[in-house]
């Protein structure tokens, strides 16, 4: 299971059980021990529990052990030839996930436009102003029947991204501006050239952070 997490991304308990070829009970027992031993970190997301390596030290140790084990080749980080589109701008239900979603969220947190608060984000006054100026219908997103701004963590990235009604509204605006476009039958978006320009200008995000 540790080897399955070597790339630094999160996996759910069931995925890890499958990787290890053991029952969910057994995996649960091991995962609990690994968390207690501070080798893994766990974050609960609804009924899912996402596990990831607790730090780079753990990754180093696992890699060193895999190198000794000889079949480390299977797991060795190959020189990735570009990032798959699904990793760049994955859609998670109706909001932006993947590297794009994470980068946007990270930037907004860093600029104090969003504040992590429990399992949610809180939109600060300056954050509301920013999104309004950007054309997001913040008022409509304050729908009582849906969580407003939730933290979400999908399998492609370790850090959380913005979900909930606000996340959906932000994604809608990106689509409206044609900064991203849908790919029929696929669960990812493509960032357009205008989108790339906007990233650098409006969001101060280096494209290399997203496209590698």
**Which residues form the interface with DNA (CB under 7 A)?**
12-15, 22-33, 46-49
184 binds, among a second copy, DNA, none (CB under 5 to 8 A by kind): none
68 binds, among DNA, a second copy, none (CB under 5 to 8 A by kind): a second copy
* Inter-CA distances, 155 with 15, 51, 54, 134, 135, Å: 10, 10, 16, 28, 29
Please provide the size of the chain in residues: 212
Least distance CB 10 / a second copy (angstroms): 20
Buried b (16+ CB within 10 A) or exposed e, 161-196: bbbbbbbbbbbbebeeeebbeeeeeeebbebeeebe
Nearer CB in complex with DNA: 45/137: 45
Least distance CB 20 / a second copy (angstroms): 20
Under the rule (CB under 8 A), what is the footprint of a second copy? Answer: 39, 57-58, 60-61, 63-65, 67-68
64 binds, among DNA, a second copy, none (CB under 5 to 8 A by kind): a second copy
First-to-final CA distance of the chain:
27
Radius of gyration of the chain from Cα atoms?
19
Least distance CB 194 / DNA (angstroms): 33
Nearer CB in complex with a second copy: 58/103: 58
Q: Please name the residues in contact with 179: beta carbons below 8 A apart, sequence gap of 6 or more.
A: 191, 192, 194, 195, 198
Q: Please name the residues in contact with 137: beta carbons below 8 A apart, sequence gap of 6 or more.
A: 169, 173
Least distance CB 13 / DNA (angstroms): 4
Nearer CB in complex with DNA: 9/111: 9
Nearer CB in complex with DNA: 10/105: 10
Cβ(96)–Cβ(89) below 8 Å: yes
49 binds, among DNA, a second copy, none (CB under 5 to 8 A by kind): DNA
């Amino acid at each position: 299971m540790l080897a399955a997490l070597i790339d630094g991304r999160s996996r759910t308990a069931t995925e890890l059980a499958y990787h290890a070829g053991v029952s969910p009970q057994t995996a649960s027992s091991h995962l609990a021990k690994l968390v207690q031993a501070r080798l893994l970190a766990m974050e609960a997301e609804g009924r899912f529990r996402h596990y990831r390596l607790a730090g780079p030290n753990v990754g180093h140790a696992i890699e060193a052990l895999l190198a000794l084990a000889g079949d480390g080749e299977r797991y060795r980080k190959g020189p990735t030839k570009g990032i798959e589109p699904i990793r760049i701008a994955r859609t998670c239900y109706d909001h932006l996930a993947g590297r794009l979603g994470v980068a946007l969220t990270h930037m907004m947190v860093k600029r104090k436009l969003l504040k992590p608060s429990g399992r949610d984000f809180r939109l600060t006054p300056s954050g509301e102003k920013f999104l309004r100026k950007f054309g997001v219908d913040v008022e409509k997103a304050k729908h009582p029947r849906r969580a407003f701004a939730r933290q979400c963590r999908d399998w492609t990235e370790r850090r959380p991204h913005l979900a909930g009604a606000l996340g959906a509204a932000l994604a809608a605006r990106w689509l409206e501006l044609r900064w991203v476009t849908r790919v029929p039958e696929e669960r990812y978006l493509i960032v357009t050239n205008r989108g790339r320009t906007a990233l650098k200008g409006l969001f101060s995000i280096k494209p290399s952070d997203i496209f590698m």
